[in-house]
Amino acid sequence: MMKVALVLLFVTYAYGCGTPTYEPSVNRVVNGEDARPYSWPWQISLQYLSGSTYRHTCGGTLLAPNWVLIKDTASVNHKASLFCFNVMM
């Protein structure tokens, strides 16, 4: 009985996982359409400083408030040690 209760608790908790707080304006990526702000709260844009502006280099996934998962080549391609990065949500 305890196992069933734990499974139900887990399913109830996980039900809202991956559900955007704000409904996105589109349900798929098409031609680089801008997403509605905060509709994908776990997605970030990793940007590097070029001159006086930041430029997008790759996307990432927010794992925790201070942890972002990105593809390794994103930092290698832009020689991460030479750039100041910005994380935008």
All structural domains of the chain with their residue ranges: 40-89
Nearest to 78 by CA among 52, 53, 51, 55: 55
**Per-residue pLDDT, 5:** 77
More confident residue, 8 or 64: 64
pLDDT per position as a tens digit, 15-49: 666 666 666 666 666 666 677 777 777 888 888 88
Dihedral angle computed from the Cα positions of residues 61, 67, 71 and 77, in that order, rounded to the nearest 10 degrees: 120
Note if the pTM is more than 0.75.
no
What tens digit of pLDDT does each residue of 48-68 get?
A: 888 888 888 888 888 888 888
Q: What SS3 state is found at 75?
A: helix
Fold that domain 40-89 belongs to in CATH? Thrombin, subunit H (2.40.10)
Which band of pLDDT confidence, cut at 50, 70 and 90, is reported for residue 89?
A: low
